[in-house]
Structure 1
């Protein structure tokens, strides 16, 4: 395998062909710029330009002192969701409990479908009013409302609106799996920022921004996988950091908003020029309801609307009818409150079992998952639990950089009896 060419375009085409034929594989390092320039008898600037183009095209990524590395373009990776063919008790899916999902058929009966044609407003008027009232207390004074096909879709569209392949994005470490996939799919580089009981660390975010991160993606509550939520103090610290970088894109992924028991504290400073607050309906109404609400500044909203035009890719009005019918119906408030209490009870029961057996876990957490930080090899422990009949998510698969050892356990369907047995089996597996 040899890289050839005398111009940046020729070098780019050569490396792309080598990557497509898998002569260069995921994780392979390209020669240092200086070495390749000497080998080809050309200037270092020409090689550097070719490498930059490879990064922008999503073929390679830059890793500081590690150099330029071929991206993973072919290998499959872990995904969220249940594994239907697994004989194990699935505590890795991240799914809500189907008991607490509203009746979609009843919602359609309450609001019969009216056909819409090209050119209709992209957001139902009634749903727009609901979202406006929902978002108002938590946004800067002026904001616009848009809908996307779920929170992940919103995040991808927002990043594509302002960033190009090779740009850095500050994210929590460990990170939500789908966010990592989204960044990788468009060739963006995730820069990990540690979290503790109060959320993302402000000093590490500042360092990431100082080193060139052009966007920050953070979870204000029910962080997946750890379950942590921002404290008022931490949110203020993060806001102060972000105020120093007014042109950085701020994406707040409040995915658990309808079900969260934690208070929402905003990190968006008044001086921010590019920001969006994303709230998904999927956890409360069901993952198949591919709808998320996005509140943002006007310029960002215009960028989104270019990508959600009424003639091409708007969110289905049929889905909007379902969401509007459910969230505005009095019975939904009671159902959501029951779901909150049920998830909280399941979590507390598992925590009591873990505490009884001396197993450390993330306290004061929220969401559908519980996080167990580990000192040892989480893969070995996950395998030991699998032999005892449990499927859990390894923390190492959620790491942005460095080592993250832990287990993510989905609590939405776990029974009291299972809580005690699981705690015993974790104790045996760790021991």
Structure 2
């Protein structure tokens, strides 16, 4: 039976009646066990009255605790302590069958096939001789890497910065450049990890609806009316939908953004596993565009490396902020990436990977269409498969040992699709894979036609 802790109980234990103080001291009471899991908290109005503060102050403190999943509930029903764990969790990343487990066939994560990645031995040997190795000097980017990336960068950028991967860059940009409480506009749907970061930071999210050509101009115009501090979108290929951003649409977005003060973040997470040309608004708005290119999909995730370009002012702001953490990206990994970018054999291997991924997407999509499921192969490493409205095919497939990513992970609104990674499904297994997933798409199918279990899906050939 739950125990209610009334407002007077709190008054004797809370010494700092500010939003931060109430949140921190209540969290301490939970941590020490004085407020056990299951305890019911006083109403916002009652606690505000006893503390002689505004209800908004208590409400904001409760919101902070709710955001960290320490308490739950709101309104007339009150709030309860639900956890004594204080580690923030990327809820979208950890939900929907995305947590690896033995025997799980993972078609949820759009990751490269390890067999198609370049060998790193020679690159790392070159990296071990990097300029300035073992120095504590905080360099933005090694000259050898800057020369290598400039050759194919989509515009003549003023400054470059080597970073520890694409999402690490987004995390840093949001913390360094977005004022507290300022809204951020993001294309909808978007990468689930971007939503995890924004939600953990309690940033007001302004969704910008997309169609088959990219973020819609009318949706961006509506979002810009709210004066967001930043707009984040994916140039080239959308990692969730597999759609290409057209040059005409990019031009329309650029004309709208030029009339605003919003920072523009181009997050190219798919990278060079697509044949689509690199595009950017950087040449149009060099003072406000931040272009981020990840090399994980093409060269390997353990390089943990991306490169961002921006104005010299923004690059210096980011470099200064990085002083709170490592301060610079490994010179070994920077030099190794430069070697791979300059190596003709690696270029051939990446081109081969692109053709294989394209063939796998097209074959798997064709198998779905043969079963009556309307699917387009798209670009990149995955594509979308529609599901019946409100039907949780992702959870059903997860229970059968197959992970696909539910649409709800990529949007603030429910989306009736699942994302299926085609990158690691060889053509020889496409028909079998499509049949298994298609049977889970319509409610009621399983009663008459059980799923084939996941172990029949083998590893990529």
Give the structure 2 partner of residue 95 of structure 1. 111
> Bigger shift: 248-257 or 383-392?
383-392
Give the structure 2 partner of residue 344 of structure 1. 358
SS at match of 1:119: coil
TM-score (norm 2): 0.78
CA distance 1:120–1:173, change in 2 (3 Å): closer
Give the structure 2 partner of residue 295 of structure 1. 309
Give the structure 2 partner of residue 185 of structure 1. 200
Give the structure 2 partner of residue 392 of structure 1. 404
Instruction: Check whether the contact 1:57–1:165 (CA below 8 A) recurs between aligned residues.
Output: no
Quick check: which has more Rg, 1 or 2?
2
Any gaps of 5 or more consecutive residues in structure 1? none
Whole-Å separation in 2 of the counterparts to 1:294 and 1:195: 24
Shift of 1:207: 1.7
Instruction: Check whether the contact 2:98–2:405 (CA below 8 A) recurs between aligned residues.
Output: no
1:3-24 deviation digits (Å, cap 9, x = unpaired): 677x995042224433552869
Match of 1:131 among 149, 152, 163: 149
SS at match of 1:183: helix
Shift of 1:116: 3.4
Whole-Å separation in 1 of the counterparts to 2:400 and 2:353: 29
Shift of 1:396: 1.6
RMSD (Å) for aligned C-alpha atoms = 3.7
CA distance 1:383–1:178, change in 2 (3 Å): closer
Shift of 1:174: 2.3
Shift of 1:228: 1.6
Instruction: Check whether the contact 1:8–1:50 (CA below 8 A) recurs between aligned residues.
Output: no
Q: 1:14-413 counterparts in 2 under 5 A? A: 14-19=22-27, 21=30, 39=49, 47-48=55-56, 74=87, 76=89, 77-79=91-93, 84-110=100-126, 112-114=128-130, 115-119=133-137, 121-135=139-153, 138-139=154-155, 142-246=157-261, 248-268=262-282, 270-271=284-285, 273-308=287-322, 312-361=326-375, 363=376, 365-379=378-392, 381-386=393-398, 388-399=400-411, 401-413=412-424
1:381-425 deviation digits (Å, cap 9, x = unpaired): 2243345542211112222x2212211111111022321122222
Shift of 1:142: 4.9
Whole-Å separation in 1 of the counterparts to 2:197 and 2:395: 28
Shift of 1:2: 5.1
Whole-Å separation in 1 of the counterparts to 2:224 and 2:117: 40
Match of 1:420 among 428, 431, 436: 431
Whole-Å separation in 2 of the counterparts to 1:16 and 1:310: 22
TM-score (norm 1): 0.83
Instruction: Check whether the contact 1:83–1:90 (CA below 8 A) recurs between aligned residues.
Output: no
1:22-47 deviation digits (Å, cap 9, x = unpaired): 86999x99978xx5798459675xx5
Shift of 1:166: 2.9
CA distance 1:11–1:394, change in 2 (3 Å): same
> Bigger shift: 207-216 or 108-117?
108-117
1:114-172 deviation digits (Å, cap 9, x = unpaired): 4331226442211111122222xx23x55211111111111111111221343221112
Whole-Å separation in 2 of the counterparts to 1:2 and 1:219: 49
How many residues in Structure 1 have an aligned counterpart in Structure 2?
A: 416
Shift of 1:344: 0.1
Shift of 1:346: 0.1
SS at match of 2:199: helix
Shift of 1:372: 1.4
CA distance 1:106–1:123, change in 2 (3 Å): same
> Bigger shift: 420-429 or 315-324?
420-429
Whole-Å separation in 2 of the counterparts to 1:333 and 1:310: 36
Instruction: Check whether the contact 2:127–2:334 (CA below 8 A) recurs between aligned residues.
Output: no
Instruction: Check whether the contact 1:171–1:217 (CA below 8 A) recurs between aligned residues.
Output: yes
